[in-house]
Structure 1
Amino acid sequence: MTDNEPKKMDEEGSQPAPNSGDDLDEISLSSMKPIISGGEDEAVEDEIRPRGAASSASEELTVGQESEEVLDRFMSACQRGDLATVKEVLNSGKVDVNKDFDRNEHVTGLHWASINNRLGVVDFLVSRGADVNIKAGNLHAPPLHWAARYGYVYIVHYLLEHGADPKLTDDQGFNLLHLSVNSSNIMLVLYVLFFVVDKGIIEVDSQDPHGRTPLLWAAYQGDSLTVDSLLKFGAYVRVADRGGFTPLHWGTLKGQPHVLIYLIQNGGDFFQKTDDGKDCFSIAKEMNTEYSLTDALRHCGFDSNGYPKKKLLKNSLHAKIVTFFVPWIFLGGAFSLFAHLHPLFAMPIILLFGIVIGRTLNRCVLPCYNVIGVSSVSLLRSPLYSGLVTGSIFWAALVWIFQVIPLTMEENFEANILLAITLPIVCYLLVVLMRSDPGRVPAERDTEIIRQTVKDLLAIGKFDSKNFCIETWVRKPLRSRFSTLSNSLVARFDHYCPWVYNDVGLKNHKAFLLCILLMEVSMLLFVRLCIAYFNELEDVYEQKGGEPHCIILKNENLCLGYSYGRFTFLVCVWIAFQSVWVGFLIVVQIFQVFQGVTNYEFSKLMKESRMSGTDPVLFNEFFGTAPEELLTINGDIADGEQHQDASINQAMSTTRSHLKKSSTCFGICCALTGIDQWLMVIKETFGLSHSVSGAKQSLTVSFPTNYGWKTNWKDFWLTSDVTAPIWRRVFYSPTTSKALLGGQEVDYFKLYTLPPKHTN
């Protein structure tokens, strides 16, 4: 059932709704299972019983002498959002807005409009005097509860603004916060937390008659976003219901690892026992969720028995330093082994050495990192790869200074001087990139400002996770993305680069591109000088009186280098290999700059282009519940701001299966070296990309941020400070949130609409 279809009665005369949970009363694990199907003595589904059903055909109308058909027509119009019919019936006087309910259950038109997300009808009925707190259904719930049960935040907001009482409870003891949690719509949960809980109207740990708090319900539902939000508002993690079950017990029952991680990180006690003497370990064993509990414990620094792991390094920074310098040692050892042993003997030793190092880092060093949130620590998200890059530079620099320069300075003076200039700049830029701010949008903690932001988004129909950051509580600027590495929202996010162990965004993107350009130049210079060095080894060959014999290497200089300068030869080959993938990366980056898109936008655009013929998205990815009427009311906004948003949506929206990255070894290598991006660039350049319709076309030409290659190039390389010298505008990165876009200065921290494109 979609939001556009009116919610009606099923065969038993009941409307589907979340489980009430009365069957949670029993405290044994065997009594937990019926919760999935719901109890018989208190079926929440009986709460909603529409007019016009066969079971209620004989009921009397409560609106004077008017016929039952008129009231049925009115109720149906409220369900469908047919405002014209609602107005017609009420204006005719055939239905009284204060008596538009049946005698038995008191289900009103306002109830039906609320549960079907019909904001226009709700607005009209309230303006005509409808009671916003009238209770109806078997559970005697007000319209506010009916809307909250399905996560309709716009209806909830409107009703609260027009006198709805958030403190009301239904017959099962649920209040607005309980029902918001049951809806699993994080946007509604956040709204209630900021506008109701934060104001002290409802307690965040308010309990239903069975002692269950919203946190307990969220844990049972496996809703990690809601659990995290409730904990941020001070929910008590060790509160127990009447059976002695805490949120951690119910989270273990469900087996959602992220929920367990949040609860354990906030003080959840996995040894705490229920009234029947069961702790989380026994529950996990009986419910077959041991893997999830063990994984959560490991993530939080405990062993499988719940005891803290002994850390090899007490300081997280020290662990990162060790990870960073391990590749330096590994590369030196690998080059030395290959230089002194036959490759058939050196290769297995190096492979074994690499496996031991990898397992040691995973088991002994990575667990020493400080973990924030649910993002797991891995070698890919550690300084390992940045250590690999800097380690390569270190060994290349040693070889160049002590081996290459003495024999090549006279005949290759210019190349040596140029390398002496570029290499220190590359090292400096790498350090800058590792320590730089990629453009983190400051998180908001002032609740008054947050509430105003929420109201502004509600007014234009954009209160969803695409426009509101549920982690930092700010309005998301266009082209931004939340980074789990830095736990912050990054403006003009390009990509996470493991080679610099940092995100690349607004404030360091220019430095990144400049760094890889100079790195490529330095590597090519180094390879050239190494070949010149190998040529100088001919004198060594003459002194030894032997002739080097190379089966594979037919080039005389390379054969000389392999025979008489093997360590330098191996470093040269390694650097030459690195120059290949850096070259791919440069091509991709320059192409994207010319097209006016970021790496993140380009990747999603290419994935979206392959969705031709796939099934449509079957889930609400951004938790959006904006009513159609709201978009009609804000028609002017929809024609401008909404149109731009829709363009970006159309270009970047994908199903979850398409967003899933390849976990194969080949896929990871392609992603790390940028080959996957390079292949997409080739397809786009030669018009081999396909649109959703299947037609071959250039997908980036019509992208909203593509203002033409000249403008895109200037936007990237020039800072927005027109008073600064041109050299400073070119070589300096933005130090504030302001930069050029479409030739105009914009504030990327507050970029909600794109500058218009000027057509010649």
Structure 2
Amino acid sequence: MAPNPGSSSKPPMFVSQKSSAAPASVDMEQVELRDMIAAGPPPELALKDDIMKLAMHGDEFGLRALLDSGVSADFRDADGITPLHWAAINNRYAAVRLLLDEGADPNAHGGDSDATAAMWAAQRGHHYIVHLLLSRGADTSMVDDSGYNLLHLATFDGNVLLLVLLLHQGIPVDSLDPQGHTSLMWAAYKGYPACVDMFLRWGADIRAVDEQGFTALHWALVRGNYTCIEKLLEYGVDRFAPNNEGKTPSVVAGELKTEKAWWDALEECGFDRNGHPLHKPNTLFGIHVQDREAALKRFFFLWPFLQVFLFVQCCVCFEWFIAVPSAIVVAGGMHWVATRALQWAPPGQKAIHRTPYLAGIFTGTAFWIGIRWMWAILPNTFWSAPFSNLFFFIFFGGCLYFHAICMAYDPGFVAKPSGLNEQKQVIEELLGLWKYDDQNFCVQCMLRMPLRSKHCKRCNRCVAKHDHHCPWVFNCIGIANHRQFFLYIFSLEIGIFFLVRLVLLHAQLLPPPDTPPICALLSEVFCAPLWQDPFTFYISIWGSLQATWVTMLLCVQLIQIAKAQTTYESMTSSKHHGHHHHGSRDKITTALATAITTGSTSTSGAALDPSARGPDPAASISSRMDEGWWRKTKQLLGVDVFWRTAGGGQQTHSEKNPFSAGIVRNCKDFWGGAAPAWRPPLEGGLSAEGELAGRRINYANIYEAPRLRGGRWVGEGEV
């Protein structure tokens, strides 16, 4: 509904604290934006004769009839409000366009706030209406009677897409209202972290102060929004800046009872509760380093090498009743040290799954298995099983090779626009296509999102045909490295099989011990090899245990390849369309599925959350709830992940995957690409190339669903 023209619809000014009263004494209702009164023009005329009502309801035919009868499109009531105002604030695009075509003034001021139609639309976040008015001559430099421009008014609503549109129209990001507030201050106060992040990336002045001496940080502390505070600290806001009354952010947080958010944000950014750095610059564990972030990555990758070695050594050196608890203590203690190292990690990266830690565990395990194979297993079993050793060497080497490829190379990043003009062209194109929304436009990368793409928060890039972010390779899996990822887990699976065979043969070929082993729990058949070569057997047992998740992941990947689905599409096919299921059973399923694939127990931790996701033409408009005893049985047996994947995730029977060309053709498409599967993927624009129904396409440039029938492309002239 629209505001009453006779009432005040403008946002209030921030409360000025000229007295010595503490911020805690401020009435929060006074600082809040006033709600618009849901009312329309007074019912003086019948609808067919009232141009204001017709504009408010978007009755294009009625408007045209009135305009043809001689009523002016620039008609104004006693408050100066025009039909354009009512059509704009109610998001009546066709009515706005008709009125503009008939000569309505886009810069007409009206209402108690003396605002333009574009300002009314901006307060409601109607970015298509604002764009239309701007294209027809609306002046971006105008302000209402409170001194707010379009950028300020759009910030009140928190519509990031509209803010991006306005900033690309040349509105200064640091434009001030009469009290000296910038849009960054308003976003921080209102608690819009996405807007705060966007303003900061655009270059907003983080040290700007208003008439009271408040910075954006002071205003973020009024509401105590942790994410806004953390983002401002990350960009280097002054933590000790006093306002005009000499109150620092810490004092303001204490008086407004928002210390918890303030302290948590300080800790996340590496400061103590007083705002002082917890660690000296360029240090890690007190040791000076040239590049802390690079040193952290090396630490998290190499630390598990020692962790795995000491874990196995505890099992080797002690009796079982001492070895088990000591191994657990050592592994847990070293893991605790790794978590303490997160103190030095950048803000937003203080989580184990956001480091190369899991990749280091895999590589460390593979390293020690390779050492023992080379120095113990190979010499003892070569003449008895030469082909098994040869196959193990091939698959073990292939596993390490493809693991390195997946870690080091481009997964298929979508190229970002090179400058503001190119970004503006992308925005204009999407507006013209009516696709300027969060599924088609990535605010972080400022680009049009292709089909099946997704913005990865870990990599901070959009990835073409995004499958998932894998912490085991510390990289995204996309169109350019998906084949290498599959070969990595396939080689790992076969390598484990040959490892088990060789270890069993190694146990049989070992000479009998000089003295009988002391066996407490195991029989002598199993105890003797552990007594003679314990490190080899313990590290092999640890490595063989990885076959559990590898087998499940391999099965899931095989099913998804056959169905031409990605992990994201299989697991969250309808979540990004609003069909979220918050029951405990869905949480269990999601945790198991994401843990198998990504090493994290949540879709958010696995970077599979539905935010910043490209359009999915196969997305469902309804979801099927698989209730009853059968679902409980699947969860109890641990096979619900496989059943869900085989059944197409959350899709209904009526849905059709437009990228599926049949099982055989899907498998052929998966192995087709711009480079051989064994070679590192091509970089640049070719890194996103793949095949679909036998045709070479670039997944970084595909925006419309393919037309396939019977596994073949449908020609333009075919029905």
Task: Please tell me the TM-score bracket, short chain as reference.
Answer: 0.7 to 0.9
> Shift in Å at residue 583 of structure 1?
1.1
Q: Distance in 1 between matches of 2:453 and 2:211?
A: 45
Q: Distance in 1 between matches of 2:34 and 2:576?
A: 43
Specify the alignment match of 2:620 in structure 1: 650
Pairing partner for 1:231 from 184, 187, 200: 200
> Do the aligned residues in 2 keep the contact of 1:610 with 1:691 (CA within 8 Å)?
no
> Shift in Å at residue 9 of structure 1?
5.1
Specify the alignment match of 1:514 in structure 2: 487
Specify the alignment match of 1:580 in structure 2: 548
Deviation string 1:509-541 (CA, Å, 9 cap, x unpaired) is: 11111111111111111111001111123x415
Q: Distance in 2 between matches of 1:33 and 1:741?
A: 61
- Would the alpha carbon gap of residues 506 and 339 (structure 1) be closer, same or farther in structure 2, given more than 3 Å must change? same
Is there any run of 5+ residues in structure 2 with no aligned partner, and where?
584-613, 625-634, 712-719
Pairing partner for 2:299 from 313, 322, 325: 322
> Do the aligned residues in 1 keep the contact of 2:570 with 2:650 (CA within 8 Å)?
no
1:681 equivalent to 2:642? Answer yes
Deviation string 1:279-314 (CA, Å, 9 cap, x unpaired) is: 111111122222222222223232221112223253
Query: In the alignment, residue 52 of structure 1 is paired with which amino acid?
Result: P
Specify the alignment match of 2:318 in structure 1: 341
Pairing partner for 2:419 from 430, 446, 469: 446
> SS at 2:175's partner residue?
coil
Q: Distance in 1 between matches of 2:124 and 2:113?
A: 16
> SS at 1:746's partner residue?
strand
Deviation string 1:432-475 (CA, Å, 9 cap, x unpaired) is: 22211111122224111111111110011111121111011111
Deviation larger for 127-136 or 293-302: 293-302
> Shift in Å at residue 35 of structure 1?
4.3
Specify the alignment match of 2:607 in structure 1: none
1:540 equivalent to 2:522? Answer no
Specify the alignment match of 2:77 in structure 1: 102
Q: Distance in 2 between matches of 1:317 and 1:79?
A: 58
Deviation string 1:207-243 (CA, Å, 9 cap, x unpaired) is: 1111111111111111122222222332211111111
Specify the alignment match of 2:704 in structure 1: 753
Specify the alignment match of 2:380 in structure 1: 407
> SS at 1:482's partner residue?
strand
> Do the aligned residues in 2 keep the contact of 1:51 with 1:72 (CA within 8 Å)?
no
> Shift in Å at residue 504 of structure 1?
1.0
Q: Distance in 2 between matches of 1:226 and 1:338?
A: 53
> SS at 2:441's partner residue?
coil
Structure with more helix by fraction? 1
Pairing partner for 1:715 from 638, 653, 669: 669
Q: Distance in 1 between matches of 2:527 and 2:22?
A: 73
> SS at 1:754's partner residue?
coil
Q: Please show how residues 424-503 of structure 1 align to structure 2 within 5 Å.
A: 424-503=397-476
Q: Distance in 2 between matches of 1:287 and 1:487?
A: 34
Q: Distance in 2 between matches of 1:450 and 1:444?
A: 6
1:213 equivalent to 2:182? Answer yes
- Would the alpha carbon gap of residues 22 and 375 (structure 1) be closer, same or farther in structure 2, given more than 3 Å must change? closer
> Shift in Å at residue 650 of structure 1?
2.8
Q: Distance in 2 between matches of 1:9 and 1:253?
A: 30
> SS at 2:46's partner residue?
helix
- Would the alpha carbon gap of residues 246 and 485 (structure 1) be closer, same or farther in structure 2, given more than 3 Å must change? same
Q: Distance in 1 between matches of 2:301 and 2:169?
A: 46
> Shift in Å at residue 165 of structure 1?
1.3
- Would the alpha carbon gap of residues 709 and 319 (structure 1) be closer, same or farther in structure 2, given more than 3 Å must change? same
> Shift in Å at residue 74 of structure 1?
2.8
> Do the aligned residues in 2 keep the contact of 1:506 with 1:734 (CA within 8 Å)?
no
> Shift in Å at residue 81 of structure 1?
1.5
Pairing partner for 1:21 from 13, 27, 43: 13
Q: Distance in 1 between matches of 2:690 and 2:302?
A: 36
- Would the alpha carbon gap of residues 30 and 294 (structure 1) be closer, same or farther in structure 2, given more than 3 Å must change? closer
> Do the aligned residues in 2 keep the contact of 1:719 with 1:732 (CA within 8 Å)?
no
Deviation string 1:420-443 (CA, Å, 9 cap, x unpaired) is: 222222222222222111111222
Q: Distance in 2 between matches of 1:269 and 1:688?
A: 51
1:594 equivalent to 2:562? Answer yes
Specify the alignment match of 1:242 in structure 2: 211
> Do the aligned residues in 1 keep the contact of 2:355 with 2:471 (CA within 8 Å)?
yes
> SS at 1:749's partner residue?
coil
Specify the alignment match of 1:7 in structure 2: 2
> Do the aligned residues in 1 keep the contact of 2:484 with 2:677 (CA within 8 Å)?
no
Report the TM-score, using the length of structure 2 for normalisation.
0.85
Query: In the alignment, residue 564 of structure 1 is paired with which amino acid?
Result: Q
Deviation string 1:456-500 (CA, Å, 9 cap, x unpaired) is: 100111111211110111111111111222221111111111111
> SS at 1:707's partner residue?
coil
Deviation string 1:63-102 (CA, Å, 9 cap, x unpaired) is: xxxxx33577432221222212222222233x33222x32
Q: Distance in 2 between matches of 1:749 and 1:413?
A: 46
Q: Distance in 2 between matches of 1:613 and 1:418?
A: 46
> Shift in Å at residue 731 of structure 1?
6.1
> Shift in Å at residue 179 of structure 1?
0.7
Specify the alignment match of 2:266 in structure 1: 297
Report the TM-score, using the length of structure 1 for normalisation.
0.80
Q: Distance in 2 between matches of 1:718 and 1:231?
A: 42
Specify the alignment match of 1:253 in structure 2: 222
> Do the aligned residues in 1 keep the contact of 2:412 with 2:480 (CA within 8 Å)?
yes
Specify the alignment match of 1:36 in structure 2: 29
> Do the aligned residues in 1 keep the contact of 2:574 with 2:619 (CA within 8 Å)?
no
> SS at 2:133's partner residue?
helix
Q: Distance in 2 between matches of 1:732 and 1:738?
A: 13
1:52 equivalent to 2:5? Answer no
> Do the aligned residues in 2 keep the contact of 1:386 with 1:499 (CA within 8 Å)?
yes
Query: In the alignment, residue 575 of structure 1 is paired with which amino acid?
Result: G
> SS at 1:518's partner residue?
helix
Query: In the alignment, residue 313 of structure 2 is paired with which amino acid?
Result: S
Q: Distance in 2 between matches of 1:127 and 1:241?
A: 41
> Do the aligned residues in 1 keep the contact of 2:241 with 2:248 (CA within 8 Å)?
yes
> Do the aligned residues in 1 keep the contact of 2:507 with 2:529 (CA within 8 Å)?
yes
Q: Distance in 1 between matches of 2:125 and 2:60?
A: 22
> Shift in Å at residue 609 of structure 1?
11
Q: Distance in 2 between matches of 1:305 and 1:451?
A: 43
> Shift in Å at residue 324 of structure 1?
1.3
Q: Distance in 2 between matches of 1:734 and 1:516?
A: 21
Q: Distance in 1 between matches of 2:2 and 2:306?
A: 66
Q: Distance in 1 between matches of 2:677 and 2:353?
A: 34
> Do the aligned residues in 1 keep the contact of 2:661 with 2:710 (CA within 8 Å)?
no
- Would the alpha carbon gap of residues 393 and 652 (structure 1) be closer, same or farther in structure 2, given more than 3 Å must change? farther
Q: Distance in 1 between matches of 2:541 and 2:305?
A: 17
1:77 equivalent to 2:54? Answer yes
Q: Distance in 2 between matches of 1:253 and 1:23?
A: 12
> Shift in Å at residue 613 of structure 1?
8.7
Q: Distance in 1 between matches of 2:117 and 2:201?
A: 28
1:144 equivalent to 2:118? Answer yes
Q: Distance in 2 between matches of 1:75 and 1:276?
A: 49
- Would the alpha carbon gap of residues 730 and 338 (structure 1) be closer, same or farther in structure 2, given more than 3 Å must change? closer
Specify the alignment match of 1:87 in structure 2: 64
> Do the aligned residues in 1 keep the contact of 2:479 with 2:689 (CA within 8 Å)?
no
1:267 equivalent to 2:224? Answer no
Query: In the alignment, residue 658 of structure 2 is paired with which amino acid?
Result: P
- Would the alpha carbon gap of residues 434 and 136 (structure 1) be closer, same or farther in structure 2, given more than 3 Å must change? same
- Would the alpha carbon gap of residues 511 and 299 (structure 1) be closer, same or farther in structure 2, given more than 3 Å must change? same
> Shift in Å at residue 330 of structure 1?
1.3
Specify the alignment match of 1:181 in structure 2: 155
> SS at 2:240's partner residue?
coil
| Identical columns (%) | 29
